[in-house]
Amino acid sequence: MKAITIPEFGSADVLRLDEVELPEPGPGQVSIDVAYAGANFAEILYRQGAVDVPLPFVPGIEVSGRIRALGPGVEGLRVGQPVAALTIVDGGGCAEVVTTSADLVAPLDGYDLAPGIAAALPSNSTTDEFVF
C-alpha cells in the first residue's frame, strides 16, 4: 500500500510517497481504510525529529474512513462502518490503511458529518468521549 513516510528527519523535502506493508489489526485493534487524514503540528514535530520515533515513520495522528478489519476481542464496531479515529499511539494515518486501538475509534453512523471534517476532529476534540 502507499503511505507518506519520514525516512530521515528534516524539512518537508524529506517526505516520501512509498510502498509499505499493509498493517493487520492485533488484539483490541481495528484497521481502517483511510479516506482523510488530519494534518497537525505533531506531523511537523515528527518530521523534524523533536519526537523520538523509529524511522522510517508514517505520520498521521487522526483519520476518517471505514473499518476494514477487526482484531481479536473487538466488540461494538463492524467492518464497513464509517469512523473517525485517533492514530496517535503509533501514527500511520498518512497511509491507505492504518491500525489503531478500538478504544480510539468513534463511529460516525447517523451523523451528517463530511469525512474530511471528521478527520480533523479527533485530536482537537478529544475528551472522555467524542461529542458531535
pLDDT tens-place string over residues 91-117: 999 999 999 999 999 999 988 888 888
Q: Report which DSSP code applies to 15.
A: -
Q: Average pLDDT in the 71-86 region?
A: 97
Taking 60 as the threshold, does the pLDDT of residue 14 lie above it? yes
**Cβ distance 93 to 34 under 8 Å?**
yes
User: Within its chain, how far is the Cα of 75 from the centroid?
Assistant: 19
**DSSP-assigned letters across all residues of 99-131:** EEEGGGEEE-TT----HHHHHHSHHHH-SSS--
Q: Catalogue the long-range contacts made by 7-11 (C-beta closer than 8 Å, 24 or more residues apart).
A: 7/55, 7/56, 8/55, 9/47, 9/48, 9/49, 9/55, 10/47, 10/48, 10/49, 11/47
pLDDT tens-place string over residues 26-54: 999 999 999 999 888 888 999 999 998 99
